[in-house]
Every structure is written in C-alpha cells, then in structure tokens.
C-alpha cells in the first residue's frame, strides 16, 4: 500500500505540472495572437474582451461582464466615457475567442462621414441581418445590386402624399384615444409605461399608412373569411414579440404556447399581405389610387420589367421590414420624449407655447402646418440625440484601407483598417461627444434650432444607407406630440425621487433603457393632466 501511494503522488504532480504548462502555453498563444491583431491596426488604442461582441453571452448578459464580454447595453451605459478616457474618438475592440479579432468602435464624425460616403468600401455586414429575411428578401438585409434593386422600388413609395396620410391618420388616432379618455377626466394615469399608449398609436398609424388598413382605437375583432384572427391582432402580436419571433427556432413551438401563437400570427399576416397584394393590383387595373406604402410599392413595382421587378415575397419582405423599422423606433422615441419633457418642465412649457401659437386651442393641426412647428421637431431630435433608437450601426471593410480620425492633439491621422474588420458606429458616444455637442448631458432642444454638426447626428444612419422612412417617422412624431401636448401637460408620478440627480442619472432612473430590437424603456409611469 505504501508503494502504491508513493507511485501515485508523482503521477498526480506530473498531471498538475502538465496542466499548468498547457494553461501557460495557451495564455502565451492568446497573448501573441492579441499582439498580432493589434499589429494589424498599428497598435491603435483598444479595449480587450475575452469574447466577441457577436457571441451569445453578449445578448444573455446585457450589462456585460468586465473583461469577458461587452453586453448589448454597453454603448448606452458607457456613452462617451470610454472614448474620453482613451483620448481618441476611434477605439479598437480586441476579442480573443473564438478567434482573435480586432474591430473598431467609432464616435468620430470625420471617420463616420468617410465610412458612409464610401458605401462600396464599407458595406453593411449582411450576415448579421439574416434573421430579418423571415418574410423574404428586403432592402435592409441586402447589399450590392440586390439592395439597389429594392431601393429603386422602395424609395419612391415614401412620397409627400404618403406623409400627409401619416399626419392625418396620426391626428385621427390620437383624437380617438383622447376622446376615449373622456372630457370629464382631468388626469390620466399611465401606471405601467407610457409606451402603453405610444405603441398602439404607432401600430395603428403603420396599419393605416403602410398597409392601407384603417383601424379604430377600439379593438377591431372582425375576422374576415379565410382567416382565424383579426389583422390587428396579427400585427400587434408580431410587433410586440418580434425579437422572440426572429430568435425562436421553428421546433420551439412544440414546447411554448406563446411561440405557437407567434407562428400562427406570422402565417396569418403573410396570408393577409398576399391578399392585399392581389387586391391592390386589381385596384391599379381599375385606375384606383391609394396613398399607403404597400400600394405605392406595388405601383412602383408594376412599372418595372423582368428581373428588375420584385416578387410578391420580396414585396412582403419589404413592407414587413418597414413595419419593423418604423413601429418600435417611433413609439419608443415618443415615449422617451414624453418622459424627458416631464423631467424638464421648462422645456415642456416652451414647446406648449409654441404649439398653441401655431395651432390655436380647439383646432386640429393640419399637415400644411408641419413646417411651422420646428420646436416640436427639435424635441424629437434632442430625444434621439439623448437616447438613440439604434445605438449601433455596423459596417465592414471590403478591402484593406485607411480611415481619417482626429488625433488627441487635434490633427488628422489615418488609421489602418484590414479587410473584413467590423466598424461599429457608436451612436450614443457620437451624440455625447463634446467635440460636437456643448454640454452633451443637458437636454436642450434649442440646439437644433440653429447650426449644429449634421455629420455628428445620425439617428437615421447616413449616406446611401440612410433610413428611407425618416420623413414618415418625423411626420408621425410631430403630429402625435402636437396633439398630446396641446391638450395635456405631462408630469412625473413621483417627482421628488429625482431631486439632486444629474440629467443622465434621472434618465437612467426613469427609463432604465435596454437594447432589444431597438432602445426600449422599462416601466416608467406618467400623468397626463388636462390643460385648462
């Protein structure tokens, strides 16, 4: 027995020594790999994480784990602080697993302007958008000649006629909502979150202005022949659960009642859209005209020939992606705007005085007045600067090249960008960069009433890939805020809780924003008090 023990001890020690050697060798390998990746970008200042930002843990841990993974919320949480600490507005991002890679995070307007201008050299990294092909090929998840084909047909659909439809439908829907509140109710308490009203409004506007299906504030429970659920229920369920729909594999429906409902709604919505496609074609033959986006898409498509035409599936893919892009972004931006105005009562008073100077009490705002309401649009812009709807805009280098960036000493320096590098435009950092925005942590809509750096304000992206629906969204947002603020003052439910906090601290406490498909607020109650 003693001999056995004496033999096993060296064996155990040997195993331990081998394990330590392997760990040391692995560590050295990763160290040299990191040196190699940094060498590829000429040792540019970088931040290092163990795992890539595209790893699953990045989404599971939204706040990240220091040194391990960034987390999907890190750009919202960090703002400009990481860049300020480094002294540069472009930072490398080194990850060691699964393969050593170096990407860039960009908060420099000079760099971004070149990236967005040289579209062919910095295309969209299409593989990151494959989940958006759920209904068919579309303008958002494509590049090159495919993107050009889709853009040629989609761009003309966003017309002045459609913008007027957006305005008129927004005014109608908000009027219906306020009527449902009742004239005798001096206070309306939104106890959960204000997007409980902005989401349904945005959904109904999209339904009318994008799909040509007008619905009222009251629930539409009609189920047409050949369907098993109402159109509004389909579109609402999918819009509310879009992240789950994109992420859940088809087999997960066997285990989840919610996934089964989403899958059923998806099939129903596709059937509705195919029917609508046929209906609009028949209407065009009869000479009937519609102003909604779907009808305009079909009309533009009918003017093309052969390979330049979109298939029915591609038309559906585009109208769905326009729904996805325009629904949550507008609804959440309006929710944030109302919260920010509740936090800044002096700014709310200013915008109210502006509204009633253009739209007298007791009157309905007209689309022709939109250009006379720049203060309302400035509130929307400052909200998007403060809390961008899309914090990250990724690009990929199509070849080895260099990009300009501002050196800490103020000079312009060119940095090395190897082919295949992912460059992420860090929108929160850009929008908080004091180089472009004096007092960036101050909520100040007036900064958009004068000159400002348009290259440093990209809530709708920039360049050739800028959002086609920008005007659609702005029109809806201005109409909604004009209607609501003209009749109600928006207040915090517990204003004393925010005393002594900075503006950024107030926003974090009130909104607790997180990144899902877009920047999404958590629960924050507000009170709407009727103006006398």
Q: Is the pLDDT of residue 448 over 60?
A: yes
Ranges 111-115, 196-200, 365-369: which has the least confidence: 196-200
| Between residues 152 and 243, the one the model is more confident about | 152
pLDDT at 142: 93
pLDDT at 162: 93
- Binding positions are 467
224-253 tens-digit pLDDT: 888 999 888 888 888 778 778 877 888 998
pLDDT confidence of 210, banded at 50, 70, 90?
confident
Distances in Å between the Cα of 401 and the Cα atoms of 107, 246, 512 are 19, 34, 39
What is the full DSSP assignment across 77-124? Answer: HHTTHHHHHHT-SEEEEEEEESS-EEEEEE--HHHHHHHHHSTTTS--
Give the residue carrying structure tokens 């022709």.
368
Q: Is the pLDDT of residue 523 over 70?
A: yes
pLDDT at 31: 47
407-440 tens-digit pLDDT: 888 899 999 999 999 999 999 999 999 999 999 9
pLDDT at 7: 47
Share of the chain above pLDDT 90, in %: 55
Mean pLDDT, the chain, integer: 87
pLDDT at 221: 64
pLDDT at 247: 78
389 in Cβ contact with 459 (< 8 Å): yes
305-311, Cβ contacts within 8 angstroms, sequence gap of 24 or more: 308/149, 308/152, 310/149, 310/150, 310/153, 311/136
88-100 tens-digit pLDDT: 999 998 887 766 6
Looking only at the bridges linking them, the beta strands covering 187-190 and 526-530 are antiparallel
| Between residues 91 and 325, the one the model is more confident about | 91
- Residues 6 or more apart whose CB falls under 8 angstroms from that of 197 comprise 177, 190
| Between residues 249 and 163, the one the model is more confident about | 163
pLDDT at 218: 63
* Mean pLDDT, rounded, for 27-51: 60
- Binding positions for heme are 467
- The pTM of this model reads 0.89
Ranges 41-45, 114-118, 485-489: which has the least confidence: 41-45
Q: Which domains are assigned to the chain?
A: 44-212+290-530 (1.10.630.10)
| Between residues 75 and 182, the one the model is more confident about | 75
**Which 8-state DSSP code applies to residue 392?**
E
* Mean pLDDT, rounded, for 154-183: 92
Strands (E), 169-257: 187-190
pLDDT at 9: 47
Q: Is the pLDDT of residue 25 over 70?
A: no
How far apart are alpha carbons 59 and 57 in whole angstroms? 5
Phi-psi region of 282 (alpha: psi -120 to 50; beta: other; left: phi over 0): alpha
pLDDT at 304: 82
């Amino acid at each position: 027995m003693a001999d056995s023990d004496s033999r096993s001890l060296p064996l155990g020690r040997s195993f331990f020594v081998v394990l330590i050697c392997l760990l040391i060798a692995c560590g050295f390998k990763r160290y040299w790999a990191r040196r190699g990746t940094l060498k590829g970008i000429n040792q540019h200042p970088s931040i290092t994480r163990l795992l890539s930002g595209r790893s699953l843990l990045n989404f599971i841990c939204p706040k990240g784990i220091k040194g391990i993974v960034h987390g999907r919320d890190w750009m919202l949480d960090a703002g400009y602080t990481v860049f300020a600490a480094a002294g540069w507005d472009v930072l490398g991002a080194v990850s060691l697993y699964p393969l050593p890679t170096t990407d860039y995070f960009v908060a420099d307007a000079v760099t971004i302007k070149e990236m967005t201008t040289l579209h062919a050299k910095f295309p969209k990294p299409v593989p990151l958008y494959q989940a958006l092909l759920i209904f068919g090929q579309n303008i958002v998840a494509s590049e090159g000649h495919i993107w050009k084909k889709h853009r040629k047909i989609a761009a003309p659909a966003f017309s002045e006629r459609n913008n007027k439809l957006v305005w008129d439908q927004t005014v109608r829907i908000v009027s219906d909502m306020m009527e449902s509140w009742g004239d005798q109710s001096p206070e309306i308490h939104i106890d959960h979150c204000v997007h409980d009203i902005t989401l349904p409004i945005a959904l109904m506007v999209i339904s009318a202005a994008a799909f040509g299906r007008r619905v009222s504030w009251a629930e539409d429970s009609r189920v047409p022949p050949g369907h098993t659920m109402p159109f509004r229920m389909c579109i609402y369920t999918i819009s509310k659960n879009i992240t789950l729909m994109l992420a859940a594999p088809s087999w997960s429906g066997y285990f989840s009642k919610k996934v089964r409902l989403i899958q059923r709604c998806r099939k129903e919505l596709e059937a509705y859209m195919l029917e609508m496609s046929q209906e609009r074609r028949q209407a065009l033959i009869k000479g009937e005209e519609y102003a909604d986006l779907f009808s305009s898409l079909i009309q533009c498509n009918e003017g093309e020939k052969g390979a330049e035409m979109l298939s029915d599936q591609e038309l559906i893919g585009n109208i769905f992606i326009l729904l996805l892009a325009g629904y949550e972004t507008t609804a959440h931006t309006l929710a944030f705007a109302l919260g920010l105005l509740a936090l800044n009562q002096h700014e709310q008073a200013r915008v109210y005085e502006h509204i009633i100077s253009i739209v007298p009490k007791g009157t309905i705002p007209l689309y022709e007045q939109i250009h006379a309401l720049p203060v309302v649009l400035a509130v929307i812009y400052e909200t998007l600067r403060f809390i961008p709807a899309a914090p990250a805009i990724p690009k990929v280098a199509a070849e080895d090249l260099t990009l300009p960036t501002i050196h800490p000493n103020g000079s312009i320096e060119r940095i090395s960008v190897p082919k295949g590098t992912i460059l992420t435009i860090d929108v929160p950092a850009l929008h908080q960069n004091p180089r472009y925005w004096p007092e960036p942590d101050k909520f100040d809509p007036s900064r958009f009433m004068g000159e400002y750096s348009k290259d440093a304000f990209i809530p709708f992206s920039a360049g050739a890939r800028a959002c086609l629906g920008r005007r659609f969204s702005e029109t809806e947002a201005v109409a909604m805020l004009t209607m609501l603020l003209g009749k109600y003052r928006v207040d915090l439910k517990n204003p004393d809780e925010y005393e002594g906090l900075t503006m950024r601290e107030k926003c974090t406490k009130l909104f607790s924003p997180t990144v899902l498909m877009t920047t999404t607020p958590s629960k924050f109650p507000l009170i709407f008090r009727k103006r006398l």
